[in-house]
C-alpha cells in the first residue's frame, strides 16, 4: 500500500475513501446487531417460558444504579457527538476535551457495573454450583447491604414466585445467564470502545483531525453510539421486568 | 491446445507482485491482496490435508465391519475433527479467501480491496483460530460431532471441546471481515465503466456470499460464545438441568450453518460461471438471472435452517413451512444449472482442465442438489435422517460441488497467479482420477444410507461391507487425485511454461493485466467498455469470431 498523505493507495479520492470507510463501519454494525440478536433471542425465549423467575431476578437489580448508568451512557453519547462535531468544524482543542469527557463517563459506567457485579457475586447470584437465589433471605449475615425490611419483602416475593414456579432456583439462573451474558458482552464492547477512544485522543492531541479528514472520529463515534443503543435495549429488558406492582 | 495461438511469444513480466519485495517480513506484513491470497492458499491447503488425514482414518477404520483401527471413542474424535477442520478451516475460506481475495480487486479494476490491513488481519485471525483448534486436536481432540450439539458439548463430553469451540469462534471473525471487505470493495472500488451488470458472475456470487457471511457468522459467533461460556463458566441457556433448551442451540447453530453451505457452494458457482463461457467461447446464457439467482440463494438460504431438525419434535406446521422453503431454494440453483447448460448449447467447447472440473461440477452438483430435495421431504427424511444418505448428499455438494469448483478455479487462474501454465495432460488425468475416485467414494454411501446404515457409527453389520470397501477404495483414489494437483501446481509455479497475460483467452478484466500482475494490479486504471463474457466485440482477444455463435440459436438448429 502506498501512502500519499491522508489518502491510502487503493483509493482515488478522499471522498471515495471516506464513503468506503463509513460503509464498512455500517456493515460492521450490522454484524453486531446479528451478534447481539442471538443472545436476545435466547433471552426472549426464556423470559417467555420462565416469566416468574425472570421477574424475580429483575427485581433483585438496583433500578437506581441501572438508571444512573443509562443517564451516564446517554451523556457519553452526547460528548462523543460533540467530539465528532468539533472535529468536523475544526475546533482542535475541543476534540480532545470531549474525548476525555467521553472516556471519563465510560469509566463511571464501569465503576457502577463493578459495584453491581460484585454485589451479585456476594449474594450468590452468579450461575453455577453456588448459585442460590434464597442466599440472602436465608443468610442475612452474608448480605449486610440489605436491611431487614428489604429482606422481608424479598422473602415474601420469593415465596410467591416459588409457589408459581417450584424450580425457581434453576430457572432464575437462566435470568442471570442472560444478565451476565448480555451486560458482559456489552461491557466488553465498551472496553474495546474505550481503547479506541484512547487511540483517538492520542491522535487528536497530535492534531491529526481536520475538517477535511476526521473519519476515525466519525467511525468510532458510530461504534460508541451503537454500544450506547445496545444498553438502551438492555436496561428495560433486564431491569424493568414486572416493576409496575 | 487449440486455444493458444493468439499469443506471440508470451513474456514473463520483469516486475510483479511476487518479486516486488523479498523476505519473510514482506510476506507476513504484506497488505497486498494477492500475497494475502497466497498466505491463505498455504494455510488452507495445510488444513485440507489435516482434514484429509482424518478422513482417511475414518475410511480405513470402516474397511471392516468391526473396525480394527480405532477405538469407538477415537472414531468419534476422528469424524468430529474431520468435520470441524474441513468445514471451518477449509471449505468456508477456500474459494473466497484464496481466489476471491486474489481476483475481486482485479475483476473490478481496483488496486486493492477496500481495507487491505483488515484483509491481513483476517488472515491472522484465521491462523489464531486454527491454532486454538489444532491445540484441541493434539490435546486428545473432541468428540461432539462438528455440530457441537448441547448439552453433550457443554456438560458431558470429556474431550477438549472448549479450545476447539473458541477456535471456531475466532475464525468466524476472519470470515466476517473477509465478507465485509468484499461487500465494500464491490460497492465503492469499481473501475470506470464497471457497472453492476458488467461485473463477472464470480463477483456477484462473492457479493451474495459476503451477505451470508455478514448476517450469518455473527450468529454462530454468539452461539459458540454462549456454548463456551456454558462449558467454562456455567451459563445455562442450553442446559436442560437449569431449564435451558438444547433445541435453541440447534436453531441458532443451523441459522448460520445452513447458510454456511451457501458460503461454500456460491463461490464455486461463481467459478463455474467463469469457466463455462470461457471454454464454450460464448456469452453466458441469462447473465441477469444467474446474478439474481445468487442473491436469491443467499436470501432464501436464511429461511430453511430447521430442515436439519425435522426429527427434533418441532411443530408439524413449522416443518411444513421449512420443507416448502427448502424446495424453494432449489429453484435458483436449478436456474443456474439450466443457464450453464444452455450456455454450452451451440458453443465451441474445448476440454481444457478447468472445463473438465466444470463438467464434473455440473454432474455432481446435480446429484447432490437433487438428493437434497429427498432430504427436504418430510416423510423421506424420517427414513434417511442421520444415515449415510445425508453424508453422501452433503459430500456431493461440498466435495463434488465446492471442491471441484475450487480446483477448477485454481487451474484456471493459476497462470494468472503464478504467470506459468500447469502441465495440461497431467492435469486432465488428475481431474479424471478425482472424478472417478469421488464417485466411487460417495455413491456407495447413498446406497448404504438408503439401506439404513447410520452415520457416525464405528461398526456396521457385515452385509454393508462391500459398499464400505468400495468407498474406502474410492477415498484412496481420491487422495491421489488431490496429491497430484498439489505437486504439479507447485512445480508449475516455478518451472511451468510462461503463460502470458491471457492464455485461454478469457474476457474478464483480470486478464487485461500482466501474469503475474504488478503490485498495483493495473499500471493505469482500466476503463470497461465491453459487456461481460462478450467474445465478439473484443478484438484484443485475438479470436477468429466468424465461426463462433453469438448466442444460442433460439429454436434449435434453424
Q: What is the pLDDT along chain B (558 residues), one digit of tens a residue?
A: 444 444 457 888 999 999 989 999 999 999 999 999 999 999 999 999 999 999 999 999 999 999 889 999 999 999 999 999 999 999 999 999 999 999 999 999 999 999 999 999 999 999 999 999 999 999 989 999 999 999 999 999 999 999 999 999 999 999 999 999 999 999 999 999 999 999 999 999 999 999 999 999 999 999 999 999 999 888 889 999 888 999 999 999 999 999 999 999 999 999 999 999 999 999 999 999 999 999 999 999 999 999 999 999 889 999 999 999 999 999 999 999 999 999 999 889 999 999 999 999 999 999 999 999 999 999 899 999 999 999 999 999 999 999 999 999 999 999 999 999 999 999 999 999 999 999 999 999 999 999 999 999 999 999 999 999 999 999 999 999 999 999 999 999 999 999 999 999 999 999 999 999 999 999 999 999 999 998 888 888 888 766 666 554 444 444
Residues of A with CB below 8 A from B35's CB?
none
Whether B211 maps to a domain, the answer reads: yes
What is the structure's pLDDT at B553? 47
pLDDT tens for each residue of A6-60: 788 888 888 899 999 999 999 999 999 999 999 999 999 999 999 999 999 999 9
- Contact between A79 and A102 under an 8 Å Cβ cutoff? The reply is yes
Chain center to CA of B163:
25
Cell numbers standing for residue B318: 413449522
**Is B243 within 8 Å of A167 when comparing Cβ atoms?**
yes
- Closest CB to A174 among B112, B181, B243: B243
Sign of CA dihedral B72, B220, B213, B415: negative
Chain A CB within 8 Å of residue B121 CB: no
Sign of CA dihedral A210, A211, A216, A222: positive
Chain B CB within 8 Å of residue A32 CB: yes
The one-character DSSP state at B453 is: P
- Contact between B241 and B274 under an 8 Å Cβ cutoff? The reply is no
* Entry field: residues in chain A: 245
**Cβ-Cβ contacts under 8 Å for B437 (sequence gap 6 or more):** B474, B475, B476, B477, B478, B479, B480, B481
Beta strand residue intervals within B341-450, DSSP E: none
Residues 17-76 of B with CB under 8 A from A: 31-32
Distance, CA of A61 to CA of B422 (rounded, Å): 67
* Cis previous bond, A111, omega within 30: no
Residue A5 has pLDDT above 80, yes or no: no
Give me the domain span that covers residue B143: 32-547
SS3 B33: helix
Of A46, A62, A64, A66, nearest in space to A172 by CA: A46
**Cβ-Cβ contacts under 8 Å for A170 (sequence gap 6 or more):** B236, B241, B242, B243
Per-residue HEC secondary structure of A180-209 comes to HHHHHHHHHHHHHHHHHHHHHHHHHHCCCC
Q: What is the CATH number of the domain that holds B424?
A: 1.20.210.10
- Contact between A86 and A184 under an 8 Å Cβ cutoff? The reply is no
Strand partners, A7: A4
Domains of chain A: 50-239 (1.20.120.80)
What is the structure's pLDDT at A245? 60
Locus of grid cell 487449440: B2
What is the structure's pLDDT at B550? 59
> What is the number of CB-based contacts under 8 A between chain A and chain B?
123
What is the structure's pLDDT at A124? 93
Which residue of chain A is at minimal alpha-carbon distance from B110?
A10
- Contact between A181 and B235 under an 8 Å Cβ cutoff? The reply is yes
What is the structure's pLDDT at B8? 59
Of B448, B438, B451, B311, nearest in space to B379 by CA: B311
**Cβ-Cβ contacts under 8 Å for B396 (sequence gap 6 or more):** B364, B365, B367, B368, B371, B442
Q: What is the pTM of this model?
A: 0.94
Distance, CA of B543 to CA of B551 (rounded, Å): 16
Residues of A with CB below 8 A from B216's CB?
34
Chain center to CA of B384:
25
**Is B115 within 8 Å of A24 when comparing Cβ atoms?**
yes
Cell numbers standing for residue A173: 439462573
Mean pLDDT score, A147-168: 91
Cell numbers standing for residue B476: 484412496
Whether B553 maps to a domain, the answer reads: no
DSSP B118-141: HHHHHHHHHHHHHHHHHHHHHTT-
Distance, CA of B77 to CA of A66 (rounded, Å): 46
Whether B558 maps to a domain, the answer reads: no
Whether B11 maps to a domain, the answer reads: no
Of B483, B484, B455, nearest in space to B471 by CA: B455
pLDDT tens for each residue of A169-204: 999 999 999 999 999 999 999 999 999 999 999 999
Number of domains within chain B: 1
Q: Which of A2, A19, A24, A226 has the most B C-beta neighbours within 10 Å, making it the best mutation to test the interface with B?
A: A24
- Contact between B265 and B401 under an 8 Å Cβ cutoff? The reply is yes
**Is A38 within 8 Å of B216 when comparing Cβ atoms?**
no
The one-character DSSP state at A3 is: -
Whether B527 maps to a domain, the answer reads: yes
Residues of B with CB below 8 A from A178's CB?
237
What is the structure's pLDDT at B549? 60
Chain center to CA of B217:
16
What are the backbone angles phi and psi of residue B160, rounded to the nearest 5°? -80, 70
Amino acid at each position: 500500500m502506498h501512502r500519499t498523505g491522508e489518502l491510502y493507495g487503493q483509493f482515488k479520492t478522499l471522498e471515495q475513501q471516506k464513503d468506503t470507510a463509513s460503509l464498512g463501519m455500517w456493515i460492521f454494525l450490522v454484524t453486531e446487531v446479528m451478534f447481539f440478536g442471538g443472545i436476545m433471542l435466547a433471552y426472549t425465549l426464556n423470559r417467555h417460558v420462565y416469566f416468574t423467575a425472570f421477574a424475580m431476578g429483575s427485581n433483585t437489580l438496583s433500578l437506581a444504579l441501572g438508571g444512573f448508568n443509562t443517564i451516564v451512557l446517554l451523556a457519553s453519547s452526547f460528548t462523543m457527538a460533540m467530539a465528532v462535531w468539533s472535529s468536523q468544524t475544526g475546533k482542535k482543542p475541543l476534540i480532545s476535551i470531549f474525548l476525555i469527557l467521553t472516556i471519563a463517563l465510560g469509566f463511571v459506567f464501569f465503576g457502577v457495573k463493578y459495584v453491581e457485579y460484585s454485589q451479585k457475586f456476594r449474594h450468590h447470584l452468579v450461575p453455577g454450583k453456588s448459585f442460590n437465589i434464597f442466599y440472602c433471605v436465608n443468610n442475612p449475615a452474608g448480605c449486610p447491604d440489605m436491611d431487614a425490611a428489604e429482606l422481608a419483602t424479598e422473602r415474601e416475593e420469593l415465596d410467591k414466585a416459588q409457589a408459581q414456579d417450584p424450580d425457581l432456583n434453576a430457572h432464575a439462573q437462566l435470568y442471570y445467564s442472560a444478565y451476565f451474558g448480555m451486560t458482559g458482552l456489552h461491557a466488553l464492547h465498551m472496553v474495546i470502545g474505550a481503547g479506541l477512544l484512547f487511540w483517538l485522543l492520542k491522535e487528536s492531541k497530535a492534531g491529526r483531525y481536520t475538517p477535511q479528514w476526521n473519519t476515525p472520529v466519525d467511525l468510532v463515534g458510530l461504534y460508541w453510539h451503537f454500544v450506547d443503543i445496545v444498553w438502551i435495549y438492555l436496561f428495560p429488558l433486564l431491569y424493568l421486568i414486572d416493576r409496575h406492582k | 491446445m487449440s486455444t493458444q495461438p493468439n499469443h506471440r511469444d508470451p513474456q514473463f513480466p520483469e516486475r510483479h507482485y511476487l518479486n516486488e519485495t523479498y523476505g519473510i517480513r514482506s510476506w507476513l506484513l504484506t497488505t497486498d491482496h494477492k500475497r494475502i491470497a497466497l498466505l491463505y492458499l498455504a494455510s488452507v491447503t495445510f488444513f485440507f490435508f489435516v482434514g484429509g488425514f482424518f478422513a482417511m482414518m475414518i475410511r480405513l477404520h470402516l474397511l471392516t465391519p468391526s473396525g480394527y483401527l480405532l477405538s469407538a471413542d477415537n472414531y468419534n474424535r476422528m469424524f468430529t475433527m474431520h468435520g470441524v477442520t474441513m468445514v471451518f478451516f477449509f471449505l468456508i475460506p477456500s474459494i473466497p479467501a484464496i481466489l476471491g481475495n486474489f481476483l475481486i480487486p482485479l475483476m473490478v479494476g481496483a488496486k486493492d480491496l477496500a481495507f487491505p490491513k483488515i484483509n491481513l488481519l483476517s488472515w491472522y485471525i484465521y491462523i489464531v483460530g486454527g491454532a486454538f483448534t489444532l491445540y484441541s486436536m493434539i490435546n486428545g481432540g473432541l468428540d461432539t460431532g462438528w455440530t457441537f450439539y448441547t448439552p453433550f458439548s457443554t456438560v458431558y463430553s470429556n474431550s477438549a471441546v472448549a479450545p476447539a469451540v473458541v477456535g471456531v469462534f475466532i475464525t468466524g471473525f476472519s470470515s466476517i471481515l473477509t465478507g465485509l471487505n468484499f461487500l465494500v470493495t464491490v460497492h465503492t472500488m469499481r473501475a470506470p465503466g464497471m457497472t453492476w451488470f458488467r461485473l463477472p458472475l464470480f463477483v456477484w456470487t462473492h457479493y451474495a456470499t459476503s451477505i451470508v457471511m455478514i448476517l450469518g457468522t455473527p450468529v454462530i459467533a454468539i452461539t459458540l460464545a454462549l456454548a463456551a461460556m456454558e462449558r467454562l463458566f456455567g451459563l445455562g441457556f442450553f442446559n436442560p438441568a437449569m431449564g435451558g433448551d438444547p433445541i435453541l442451540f440447534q436453531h441458532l447453530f443451523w441459522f448460520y450453518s445452513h447458510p454456511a453451505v451457501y458460503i461454500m457452494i456460491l463461490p464455486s458457482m461463481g467459478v463455474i460461471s467463469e469457466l463455462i463461457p470461457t471454454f464454450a467461447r460464448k456469452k453466458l446464457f441469462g447473465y441477469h438471472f444467474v446474478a439474481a439467482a445468487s442473491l436469491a440463494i443467499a436470501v432464501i438460504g436464511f429461511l430453511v435452517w430447521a430442515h436439519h431438525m425435522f426429527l427434533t419434535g418441532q411443530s408439524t406446521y413449522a416443518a411444513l413451512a421449512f420443507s416448502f422453503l427448502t424446495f424453494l431454494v432449489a429453484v435458483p440453483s436449478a436456474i443456474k444449472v439450466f443457464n450453464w447448460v444452455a450456455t454450452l448449447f451451440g458453443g465451441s467447447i474445448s476440454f481444457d482442465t478447468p472445463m473438465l472440473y466444470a463438467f464434473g461440477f455440473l454432474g455432481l452438483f446435480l446429484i447432490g442438489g437433487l438428493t437434497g430435495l429427498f432430504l427436504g421431504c418430510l416423510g423421506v427424511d424420517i427414513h434417511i435422517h442421520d444415515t449415510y444418505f445425508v453424508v453422501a448428499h452433503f459430500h456431493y455438494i461440498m466435495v463434488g460441488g465446492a471442491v471441484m469448483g475450487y480446483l477448477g478455479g485454481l487451474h484456471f487462474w493459476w497462470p494468472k497467479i503464478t504467470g506459468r501454465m500447469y502441465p495440461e495432460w497431467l492435469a486432465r488425468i488428475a481431474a479424471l482420477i478425482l472424478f472417478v475416485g469421488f464417485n466411487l467414494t460417495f455413491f456407495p454411501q447413498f446406497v448404504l444410507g438408503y439401506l439404513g446404515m447410520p452415520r457416525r457409527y464405528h461398526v456396521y453389520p457385515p452385509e454393508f461391507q462391500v459398499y464400505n470397501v468400495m468407498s474406502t477404495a474410492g477415498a484412496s483414489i481420491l487422495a491421489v487425485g488431490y496429491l497430484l494437483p498439489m505437486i504439479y501446481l507447485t512445480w508449475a509455479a516455478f518451472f511451468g511454461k510462461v503463460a502470458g497475460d491471457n492464455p485461454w483467452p478469457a474476457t474478464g478484466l483480470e486478464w487485461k493485466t500482466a501474469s503475474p500482475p504488478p503490485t498495483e494490479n493495473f499500471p493505469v486504471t482500466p476503463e470497461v467498455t465491453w459487456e461481460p463474457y462478450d467474445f465478439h466485440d473484443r478484438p484484443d482477444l485475438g479470436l477468429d469470431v466468424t465461426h463462433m455463435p453469438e448466442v444460442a440459436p433460439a429454436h434449435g438448429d434453424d
